[in-house]
Amino acid sequence: MSAPPAKQRRQGGDGGTPSGFPLLPTTASPEAEARAAPYRFPAPAKLNLMLRVVGRRPDGYHLLQTVFRFIDYGDEITIAVREDGVLSRGRELPGIPAEIDLTLRAARLLKERTASEAGAHIDLLKRLPLGGGVGGGSSDAATVLLALNHMWRTGLTRAELQVLALELGADVPVFIFGESALGEGIGERLTPLSLPPAWYVVLAPPVQVATARIFSDPELKRDSKPINIQGFSAASATNDLEGLVCRLHPAVARHLEWLRDHGPALMTGSGACVFASFETEAAARSVHSKLPPDMSGFVAKGLDRHPLFALAR
């Protein structure tokens, strides 16, 4: 998916997630919901405030230690219940054909495992960059699981949804978990964390980083020592994937270098997005206002909980 012009991207981030977001009423009957107008749901981005590769399993999956935090900027998904049982999607998404669309895969998985006879029409408004390391596809899938579990009255618990989510990708469970968290294992073992308030400047280099390519590279550092999370400090955190990604994608290195002129900065996930944290919104917006015209990004507030946390128990 091609990136919007820099000016448009920078303006788009100023508002965070759309205002007036109508969340699904928890008291509506299934019949009323089936007749209701479509509902819009947020699919927030995540940042990895730290990422260490601490080993590798025999099956090839890497063992990680990471800190997840949601931010108030992301994709938007509109869902309408269909009474005919069909799963359909709205707008076509460049670079995301229907057969690999995680929103449809999530809906199909939930429908199969719960034997639901309901269907859904799902329309995804994509704001998060593909290959950006901010969890766009994973967040989209989790939002569909949370929303449809509620709309279809399938009744799965949060823990049960997390098990389903792992079948869709290693990053999907944390969006169901719904809180700032320490992630271990392949990222699915989650422990809630209390993080200080923060605002973030997130830059999106105009490249897509292939996660599988990074994790398969022989130069990737795979033997970091786990840290004591009680001593975690975002200001001193590192990302073990960052050096390799910067060598392979000079644009990532350039954006990171620019951001580090204004404070401690880090790459999130396997890239390409980079970010820096600030104590106040004013400080973050001041740095954002200095962006060169050929760079794009947004300002976002750190969240303690996923905006759809209340939809699961």
Catalytic residues: 46, 171
The three-state (H, E, C) secondary structure of 75-113, written as one string: EEEEEEEECCCCEEECCCECCECHHHCHHHHHHHHHHHH
The amino acid present at 38, given as its one-letter code, is: P
Q: Which residue from 246, 239, 248, 241 is spatially nearest to 220, judged by alpha carbons?
A: 241
The number of residues making up the chain comes to: 313
HSE (side-chain half, CA atoms, 13 Å) at 241: 31
Q: How far apart are CA 105 and CA 32, in angstroms?
A: 26
Q: How far apart are CA 1 and CA 126, in angstroms?
A: 9
Instruction: Specify whether the CB–CB gap between 292 and 7 falls below 8 A.
Output: no
